[in-house]
Chains A and B, each alone.
Chain A
Amino acid sequence: MENVNDYEVQIKNLYKAYDKNTVLENLNMNFMKNKITVVTGPSGCGKTTLLNIISGIEKPDSGEVIMRDNSISYIFQEDRLLPQLTVYQNIAFVLKSNMKQVDMNSIIDKYLTLVKLTEAKDKFPSQLSGGMKRRVAIARAFAYKSRLLLMDEPFKGLDDKLKKEIIEQFLRVYSEDKRTIIFVTHDMKEAELLGDTIYNLE
């Protein structure tokens, strides 16, 4: 029997429209603590809008989002790395506002090791392959101390071999550092492989 305290995030009667185009209507969802919930559905069904509302990037027209904690990590569809900073500095960028240098060093080293990027830590994004950039974004999201991790089609555009490799690394990091994950994808294979719970938006 599920209990309200088991939920990290609750969505109640959410409504969002752009001009007259309704994207989300009367949406109710619960996201279990320390589990991976996959939200899937066709393009334009409002998956990214849902993540943007949970993260606070966008405001809903009505309804509410109840969260246990407001610390969030977000792996976007794009890498969103700062081009003039190295891999190490990119991760440090999201940590240094709330962390001492000594703690930061050990955390960054830990997650770079988990995504097998230790040797690339002094490289700039322009010197990395697409897969390596994705791994930096994953390491950055996990290095940031949050209870909720939002992932918006993070493996989109990667070839099957690379996708498999990065999913393995992602699962390894996740098993070391469990947190609530809301994972958006339109790929049912990914959804079945990763999701403890799957929601299908239509």
Chain B
Amino acid sequence: MKISITKVSRKLFILLFWIFVWELCSLFINNDILLPSPIEVFQVLMKLFYKSYFWLSVFSSVGRVLLGLLLSIGIGVVMGIIAGLNKYVEELLEPLLITIKSTPIMSIIILALVWFKSTNVAIFTSILICFPIIYTNVLQGIKSVDLQLIQMADIYKVKNKYIIKDIYIPSIKHYIVSGILMCLGLGWKVSVTSEVLATPKYSIGLNLLNSKAMLETSELFAWTVVVVLLSFAFELAFKYYMKKTDKLSVN
């Protein structure tokens, strides 16, 4: 308990230190349009909390990010396993993956604007950016599976579904987890960037764009803080979930 209190207080101190640095910079620049103070941003954030469009925008963006991430994970895991088990599929997918990875995010967003409704652009872009990360990690995990265990399972004529469930999935679990952790932050960045360009009716991206157009830098910062906090909350929730499932599987 003592250790966790020390850890929390240390983290709180680090947070306060950086807010203090922000405050100092703001005092030094002394121009609210260029860099508002943390107190002012906090006050704007408090005002936003009481507005319904704030919550509508937040929930809509959260929904898009969640859907994009879940679909990326699903597609990445399934395709990664298939490609990991079949060299021909891996070779077939390689050019597609290289193309997606090297295509600029802006090109993907602009293409998506042509192909989809504004509400779906962020989901599509998140999938295209996040799924290759999950896919590559799963593929790497499959290749690092202990072949001696596979040999043992083959000799005992174990069905493929059990080999996947009991040998492959546990071996690739850590690779999937690290892929998801990478995608949690990236998913938010890509999704909000897409919203800025696609401007769906309720979205954090649209509010960022409006703040910029009105030169409301404090509001721009407030919305950015919201994105950072949401991304952090996603990561915490995921880590908590993983800790809980690890405990359950040990018990």
What residues make up the interface of A, taking CB atoms closer than 8 Å to B? Answer: 55-57, 71-74, 76, 78, 80, 82-85, 93-94, 96-98, 144
Contacts and interface: CB of A to CB of B under 8 A. Distances in A.
B59 to A, nearest CB: 37
A84 B146 CA distance: 13
Nearest to B156: A94
Contact of A80 (B148, B157, B162, B170): B148
Interface SS of chain A: loop
B149 A144 contact: no
Given A80-B148, A80-B149, A84-B249, A73 B166 contact: no
A171 B167 CA distance: 31
B151 interface: yes
A193 to B, nearest CB: 26
B159 interface: yes
B155 A72 contact: yes
Contacts of B153: 93-94
B21 interface: no
6 contacts: A57-B154, A72-B155, A82-B166, A93-B158, A96-B162, A97-B162
Nearest to A52: B151
Given A74-B155, A78-B148, A84-B170, 6 more contacts: A55-B155, A82-B170, A85-B166, A93-B153, A97-B156, A144-B156
Contacts of A85: 166
A57 B68 CA distance: 43
A56 to B, nearest CB: 8
Which 4 pairs across A and B sit closest by C-beta, in order of nearness? Answer: A94-B156, A97-B159, A80-B152, A84-B170
B158 A94 contact: yes
B90 to A, nearest CB: 24
Contacts of A97: 156-159, 162
A102 to B, nearest CB: 18
Contact of A76 (B152, B159, B170): B152
Interface in B202-243: none
A88 to B, nearest CB: 13
Contacts of A56: 155
Contacts of B158: 93-94, 96-97
A80 B146 CA distance: 9
Contact of A74 (B152, B166, B170, B249): B152
A80 B150 CA distance: 9
Nearest to A70: B157
Contacts of A78: 148
B166 A57 contact: no
